[in-house]
Amino acid sequence: MERNLAGSDSSAEAVGRSDALGRENEALRQDIGRISTGEETLRQSEGMYKAILKSAMDGFWLVDTQGRIVEVNETYCGISGYTAEELLSMYVSDLDLLDDPDRVALRIGEIAEHGSARFETRHRHKDGRSLDIEISIQYCSDRGGIFACFIRDTTELHRIQSQHLENEKRLRMAQEYANIGVWEWDLLSNSVYWSERIWIILGHPEHDITPSREAYFAAIHPDDRRTLIDSISRSFETGKPFETEYRSVWSDGSVHWLLGNGNVVFDQEGRPARLLGLVKENTERKLAELALVESREEARRANRAKSEFLSSMSHELRTPMNSILGFGQLLEMDRGLSPNQSDFVREIMKASRHLLELINEVLDLSRIESGTTEVTIETIDCDGLVQECRKLVETIAAKRGIGISVRGRAALAMRADRLRLKQVIVNLLSNAIKYNSEMGFAEMRLSASEGWVRLEVADRGPGIPEERMKELFEPFSRLGAENGTIEGAGIGLSISKRLVELMGGRIGALSERGAGSIFWVELPEAGAHSAEAVACSAEVPRGGSENP
């Protein structure tokens, strides 16, 4: 009985010991599991850490308290040009930072006290290039006193910043040279920016006013504020740029002209967001412009006064000239005059007719210049008009033995004032006769091209020097002929040019010294009367060859 009880006790103890051992084993397994899990977590954490460093945009070191590089990422390998193996065998002092390496190492020592630092220096690449870098250092006391260093290559950033500063400098110089200011009005914040030049343009070089809409408009002449406001308002309404002139009143009371332009910038919803503008000092140009306008008006007044004087004098002179011509004609009819007396009368008549012709030309010129000459445009048959003009000069041509022909006379029509065109053609023919060689030849040529009818009058005179061609159509210019025996006032060509232009045409000349001249007139074509041109020749008999 006792042995059985004892046996029972021994068995219970064994079971208890077995349970305890099982619990210990389970606890051990759990501990091992936790350790394994922790190790796995650590491995994952380190893997993530290395992956982050590998993909980081900045370079990275881990440096121990002795200044030795114990870890580095690929980005810094690219910055330095060294491999990771090379860097892990180096100290910070071994790097060519273009700054005292000992000083950099000293800074690392100082960081141990302050915890972190950031500074810029220069870095020599392995291939010799010099780079700008920014270093950020963090002291990690929880990792046994190690330094985490981030290195950023700022070379391109500095280059861009330097270029930006250079561009700003150039812009300031350009604004100063052109005297242009830039301003911007932010409609959302109601803030105003303007460049350095604005203060000077508004007469406040001391910067004694703050940029604002109110300050800007306060500097504008009261009579011009509405003009500027209306221009800006139209820009808001239409979305188109504005440009306007207005005056600025400086603090010393002086008035300066400004030229302003700008445009509205809209946001994505189409609402006005900003107003950008330029303003330029424009006083000198504006004053010159006003002076030019005044001088032109003065010239117009003087020209009108001259034209009125010429017109008045021409009328006053024509009355006594008509009397002289009338009495001269009576004397020519007197059969009782001696030969000498008849010669005297002929000279009087010749001079009187020349003087009357001159008076009429001056009167025509004054009318044209005063703008009182009117033209009536109609369709004109070219052939009929040319033949009519030829007949009018036949007598003076025959006296000098000058032959006149018409070539290329097609059934053409042009748009012009018949009376005024007749006056032009007769003038050109008269010149071709007067300035021709003795027993010479003059020719009229008709042609049409691209909607224009061209009439040419050619002569075989001495020609015109090339250097004097530009004087041809100037009033009272005779190109040296005033010293000869040929009569004239040098007004006819000037009148002809203005009449042709009044009719919407063109006139010009070609000449070669010793080979004669060609004067041409072009007027709008009214349409050909027939499809074929008629080639023929008509000439005033002069007892010589019919052909030139």
- Answer whether residue 523 shows pLDDT above 90: yes
The stretch 262-288 carries a mean pLDDT of: 85
Please give the pLDDT value at position 536.
33
Please give the pLDDT value at position 103.
61
Please give the pLDDT value at position 521.
92
| pLDDT digits 0-9 by tens, 415-447 | 998 888 988 998 899 888 888 877 788 888 998
d(CA 458, CA 38): 115
| Ranges 120-129, 172-181, 486-495, most confident | 120-129
Distance between start and end Cα atoms, the chain: 176
Residues in the chain, how many? 548
Q: For residue 425, how many other CB atoms are within 10 A of its CB?
A: 22
Pairing relationship of beta strands 59-63 and 146-153 according to DSSP bridges: antiparallel
For residue 434, give the H/E element and its range.
helix 418-434
- Answer whether residue 538 shows pLDDT above 80: no
Nearest Cα to Cα of residue 472 among 499, 508, 500: 508
Secondary structure string (H, E, C) spanning 383-400: HHHHHHHHHHCHHHHHHH
Phi, psi of 27 (to 5 degrees): -65, -40
Q: How many CA within 13 A on the CB side of residue 224? A: 18
pLDDT band at 526 (very low <50, low <70, confident <90, very high): confident
pLDDT band at 195 (very low <50, low <70, confident <90, very high): confident
Please give the pLDDT value at position 541.
36
| Ranges 56-60, 137-141, 307-311, 516-520, most confident | 516-520
What single string gives the DSSP state of each residue in 290-357? Answer: HHHHHHHHHHHHHHHHHHHHHHHHHHHHHHHHHHHHHHHHHHHT-TT--HHHHHHHHHHHHHHHHHHH
pLDDT band at 505 (very low <50, low <70, confident <90, very high): very high
Please give the pLDDT value at position 531.
36
Please give the pLDDT value at position 410.
61
The stretch 152-162 carries a mean pLDDT of: 84
| pLDDT digits 0-9 by tens, 452-473 | 999 999 988 888 877 777 777 7
Nearby residues of 525 by Cβ (< 8 Å), 6 or more positions away = 412, 413, 414, 415, 448, 451, 452, 453
Nearby residues of 308 by Cβ (< 8 Å), 6 or more positions away = 366, 370
Task: Provide, for the chain, the percentages of residues in helix, strand and coil under a 3-state DSSP scheme, each rounded to the nearest 5.
Answer: 50, 25, 25
Nearby residues of 122 by Cβ (< 8 Å), 6 or more positions away = 97, 98, 99, 130, 131, 132, 133
- Residue 68, beta-bridge partner list: 91
d(CA 431, CA 419): 19
Pairing relationship of beta strands 403-407 and 441-449 according to DSSP bridges: parallel
Q: Per the structure block, which two tokens stand in for 7?
A: 């046996």
